[in-house]
Amino acid sequence: MMNRRPLGADTEPMDQRVPFRHPEADLLQLYGSHSLAFFGMAPENEQFLAPGNQGLITYRVVNRVAVALGDPLCAPEAVKAVTRSFLAFCRVHRWTVAFYQTGPDFLAIYRALHLHAFKMGEEAMLFPQTFSLQGPALAKVRTRCRHAQREGVQIQWYEGVLPAAVMQQLVSISDAWLESKGGQQAEETGFSTGKCSEIQTNARRADRLTGLLVPSHGALPALPLVTGVALTRSGQACAFVTFTPIYGVAEGSEGTGQRWGWALDLMRRTVDAPSGAMDLLLGQALERFRARGAHRASLALVALADTRQEMAQPWRYLVDLAARRMALFEQRQTLLRFKQKFAPCWESRYLVVDSRLALPKVALAVLRLRHYSGGGFMRLLTR
């Protein structure tokens, strides 16, 4: 087992990179089909490469809690062995273990390894090759898109590193957006999401990862960071979105291959942006991804959402209480309503831990990694 520096680090010149020198690149290309795989390659994260290069787990340690980003990147039949190896590795270091935002496919394996799963929200997934803005389900989106277009909103698209002048406009929008949020939300979150200040860094990382992927593995095209900017009639930027790559060309656990696409990351607007500007941005993005041949598009996680009604009643009560105490309830409801307009498939996401008693410690570690102050959660614990 090995602990390695992430592939996304800037320390190695591009001309010295050889695809087959990095088993992590193969694993990312074949199995990196969850939306956090890209963020796992950030240089501040660690990489656990399982014996025999069977699989890859990206993680970060805070307060002696090793928090892994999503499910292991490996073949479905190797998940149990790779996870067991990582658990043994963490036991040597006496770390508590948590898997953050795992999917439902491997819950039985985690439970067989005596891990405990707690639902933490749902991710809105769309499938560009069958997605259409037509039909009654998307009527509200079409109406808002037409309204934005009547207001003169136009969308400009960029792939990769942004021109400096465009980046400056996005910073202005983001700063105003953060200021309008106030309180704890005035600080950008991280770990499983990007920040406005990291857009250019993430764009360069996406380009470097593309350079490491092996064409013979399948029809995985270049997957740059994609940015859409909404402009008013006067040419002023009023909203923007960014999308990070989703990889994966191997057969999934449900028997489907070609799972690559893009995942929504940042979504920000000015307070006076024309109504429907964000709908137009996302609608055009999905049409763009369909034309590019993408198979998956994520509208990102809605934390604490439970449209499937899977949470046990005591856990649901605690989640709702925590959301209200941390001023997340209204944000959750607003995001849920907005994303529901696109008629997504809601996929459950879980926090998987090695000890129920360690759950408060894990929650605080995650809050710290995500750059929340944790004050609301601490107040909840002390009641």
Q: Kindly report, residue by residue over 150-172, the tens digit of the pLDDT.
A: 999 999 999 999 999 999 999 99
Q: What average pLDDT does range 266-290 have in this prediction?
A: 97
Tokens of 292: 């590019």
The residue extents of the domains of the chain are 2-122+352-382, 123-304+334-345
Confidence (pTM): 0.89
pLDDT at 145: 97
pLDDT at 250: 76
Residue 379 has pLDDT above 50, yes or no: no
Residue 373 has pLDDT above 80, yes or no: no
Residue 192 has pLDDT above 50, yes or no: yes
Q: What average pLDDT does range 182-192 have in this prediction?
A: 69
Lowest mean pLDDT among 13-17, 112-116, 180-184, 220-224: 13-17
Q: What average pLDDT does range 213-229 have in this prediction?
A: 82
Beta bridge partners of 85: none
pLDDT at 85: 98
Residue 319 has pLDDT above 90, yes or no: no
- Max Cα separation, the chain? 62
In CATH terms, the fold of domain 2-122+352-382 is Aminopeptidase (3.40.630)
Residue 213 pLDDT level (bands cut at 50, 70, 90): confident
Q: CB–CB of 161/203 below 8 Å?
A: yes
In CATH terms, the fold of domain 123-304+334-345 is Aminopeptidase (3.40.630)
Strand, helix or coil for residue 213: coil
Distances (CA, A) of 355 to 87, 315, 378: 12, 16, 19
CA 175/CA 367 separation, integer angstroms: 22
> Which residues, at least 6 apart from 135, have a Cβ–Cβ distance to it below 8 Å?
none
Planar angle of CA 264, 258, 308, nearest 5 degrees: 55
Burial class (CB in 10 A: 0-12, 13-18, 19+), 163: exposed
pLDDT at 256: 55
2-122+352-382 and 123-304+334-345 agree in CATH topology: yes
Pairing label, strands 116-126, 345-353: antiparallel
CA 121/CA 304 separation, integer angstroms: 4
